[in-house]
Structure 1
Amino acid sequence: MSWHWRLEDPTGSAVDPASLGVEVPETDNQGDAESWLGENWRELLDQGVATVTLFDGDDEVYGPMGLAAP
């Protein structure tokens, strides 16, 4: 399967990464997907992404997870 993030706005609606000029990679494992988010979450937050959800193929693994500090 391929691991990937769904980006979401403050209402929980999916955001098209291309509309932000961001490419969300599909990775071979959870660790690589989480590493990518760890390197890019601030940029995503600055561009209006409020939450993210991790998927393994079509299966939701966890989320939505907020990007802003509580």
Structure 2
Amino acid sequence: MIRPQWVWELDDAEGRVLEDPVSPVFGNQFDAEQWLGEHWRTLAAQDVAVARLLHDGTAAAAPVPLRVP
């Protein structure tokens, strides 16, 4: 059985997907959202401007801005 996968795609201020940092893969949306809530400050300090939650490769929620422009 294939389990659903939730992952954060992390973008810079120009909208480019960053290769580093990398989001872990989660088995459910709750764990993915909890992780972002715990790590958003660190991600913002690493130049992540927006986090987008993907469920099996498809956008699952509205993008989450991590920095104020």
TM-score by length of structure 2 reads 0.85
User: Can you list the C-alpha shifts for 1:7-65, whole angstroms capped at 9, x where unaligned?
Assistant: 00001110012xxxx44211110000001101110000001000010001111112322
> What is the alpha-carbon distance in structure 1 between the residues aligned to residue 33 and residue 68 of structure 2?
17
Correspondence 1:38 to 2:37: yes
Correspondence 1:6 to 2:9: yes
> What is the alpha-carbon distance in structure 1 between the residues aligned to residue 46 and residue 6 of structure 2?
22
Unaligned runs of 5+ in 1: none
**Paired residues of 1:50 and 1:67 also in contact (CA < 8 A):** yes
Q: Quick one: which amino acid aligns to residue 27 of structure 1? A: F
Larger Rg: 2
Match of 2:19 in 1: 16
TM-score by length of structure 1 reads 0.84
Moved over 4 A (4+): none
* Seq. identity, %: 38
Q: Quick one: which amino acid aligns to residue 61 of structure 1? A: A
Q: What's the C-alpha RMSD, in Å, of the aligned pairs?
A: 1.5
Match of 1:49 in 2: 48
Task: For residue 69 of structure 1, report the CA deviation from its aligned partner.
Answer: 4.9
Which one has the bigger helix percentage?
1
